[in-house]
Structure 1
């Protein structure tokens, strides 16, 4: 009986140690977010960063191939920070079919606030992400409307936000995972283009940042398959 009790107490101590360790890690992560300054990088959430081979076991890939996501802090106010991923972490179409579409109805928006949100963040982290009213202006050069206001947890930046927050730092490298999915195009290279929310020359196109870092108002077709995705969000700190 004494041996059983001793073993049980040992198990409780081990469980407590694991729980405390997890709490310590979460507390450290929260402190890092709270103390982060504009222009610094923070880690938050986990996502696939390396190319996944076809013969990789899916459960192993989910558990072992996800790594911390690095975010660049763009703004800080009212107990929140605005961040954008340091790298293009995926390669997605703006919309899955070629049609006139705005951000509010795009499949990219659906993916970011559905599959990506659940894959990259645990429940605690999801609760820290602020649901934000996202407003997207018409294309400043061509006058194309970009849709109505929406509520998003995860979004991509608009052309106006890029001009404001990233005036000189728009070149973007894709992760190996994103590159394997097509980010950067067939010619490859160190950088890739990445989507913006605004509509392009017409609603069959969406604006983006080109591989050279310039903002492309004409945009690419919404089914263009070589643009990377740099998610953005507001996080409670």
Structure 2
């Protein structure tokens, strides 16, 4: 690690950053970002990389050679933005050519709107919006007809049935209409009314099979930075390696078992390896939230949780193997280019100021190194999984 003198320390405090770095270290970081091959990375990533380098160099212009690097960075950034705009334009054109549904035309229109004044982006935006509007009008008419039919049926049923019987018929209609999850939920609330329990299980299985089919179709096309649906939750793809996707559930749903959970169920010194949260994720949560087919596609992940260098609290050095884990401090650095912050205050697999506390990242993106009591129920968990796409394909063939 480079030595830090007191002057550099004061400069770092003025920059309001968490890690105090010397001017030399900042320049070296900027050089690494400038050395990224534009033929390898995407234009959007290159612009982001160069903007980060520019920000670093702007604070150290007095360092020898930094002024020249800053000017070079400004020039490269200007060229990269032009390349990015052209790449965005070509992508928008492709989306427009492939669009068939209303939301697809709407997406293309939004992309052209971000390119206002560039080439013929304004004309293409106008065309895409008109197509989306026409499709929406057709959808509204169809929906109105369907709603009228449903309302008529409900009125007829209301004259003959009361209370649960009307909900029973409504659930049957939802099931017939392919709304399996809603039908399952409604039947589950009807208890022993008629054959509600059998119907609930029937539509639960139909919903799960439909969910699995959608996953087998969508996940093979996913790439880094995409959001995909898996096991009833939305997951951010952190990395794609051959036929495997590393993903994090950065925004668990409000009714998810991942909301409001303790790091450990007893206040005591405990590491991530021995925590009740780790046991829950690889036990009750794994069995309850993932179907057998979804579990079969999960890959065992070998990793070693980081300690807390800030407070000098170490973590066990033995590597762990889990199907479901959570981020630690090193993961935040490794995937900072795609994962910015969670949608909830999430636990991290690292001790806080002592072993009776654990580090967490707030939904604002701040990492609280001091940590929180391991029994706190106000934090949530953003699980991390790896899905084997080959396993999904083999499951599809077995079906």
**What's the TM-score, normalizing by structure 2?**
0.42
Counterpart CA distance in 1 for 2:310 and 2:209 is 50
**Mapping for residues 47-86 of structure 1, pairs under 5 Å:** 68-86=232-250
**Mapping for residues 122-133 of structure 1, pairs under 5 Å:** 122-133=291-302
**SS of the residue aligned with 2:354?**
coil
Q: Does 1:29 align with 2:215?
A: yes
| 1:38 paired residue number | 224
| Contact 1:206–1:219 (CA under 8 A) maintained in structure 2 | yes
Q: Does 1:103 align with 2:282?
A: no
Shift of 1:27: 4.7
| Contact 1:199–1:205 (CA under 8 A) maintained in structure 2 | yes
Q: Does 1:194 align with 2:346?
A: yes
| 2:285 paired residue number | 116
Instruction: Give the gaps of 5 or more residues in structure 1.
Output: 1-17, 46-67, 174-191
| 1:224 paired residue number | 376
Q: Does 1:160 align with 2:330?
A: yes
| 1:180 paired residue number | none
Q: Which has the higher helix share?
A: 2
Structure showing greater Rg: 2
| 1:209 paired residue number | 361
Shift of 1:38: 0.7
Deviations 1:141-184 (A, max 9, x none): 122112232110001111111222135854433xxxxxxxxxxx
Counterpart CA distance in 1 for 2:364 and 2:207 is 44
Q: Which has the higher strand share?
A: 1
Counterpart CA distance in 1 for 2:349 and 2:367 is 12
| Contact 2:225–2:338 (CA under 8 A) maintained in structure 1 | no
Deviations 1:176-217 (A, max 9, x none): xxxxxxxxxxxxxxxx31100011111111111024211111
**What's the TM-score, normalizing by structure 1?**
0.69
Residues 167, 227 of structure 1: CA spacing in aligned structure 2 closer, same or farther, 3 A cutoff? farther
| Contact 1:198–1:206 (CA under 8 A) maintained in structure 2 | yes
Higher relative contact order (Cα pairs below 8 Å, separated by 6+ residues): 1
Residues 168, 29 of structure 1: CA spacing in aligned structure 2 closer, same or farther, 3 A cutoff? closer
Counterpart CA distance in 2 for 1:228 and 1:109 is 13
Counterpart CA distance in 2 for 1:168 and 1:29 is 22
Counterpart CA distance in 2 for 1:151 and 1:42 is 24
Shift of 1:78: 3.6
Counterpart CA distance in 2 for 1:44 and 1:170 is 21
Counterpart CA distance in 2 for 1:100 and 1:22 is 40
Counterpart CA distance in 2 for 1:212 and 1:40 is 21
Shift of 1:86: 3.1
**SS of the residue aligned with 1:217?**
strand
Counterpart CA distance in 2 for 1:107 and 1:83 is 22
Residues 40, 100 of structure 1: CA spacing in aligned structure 2 closer, same or farther, 3 A cutoff? same
| Contact 1:103–1:198 (CA under 8 A) maintained in structure 2 | yes
RMSD over aligned CA atoms reads 2.4
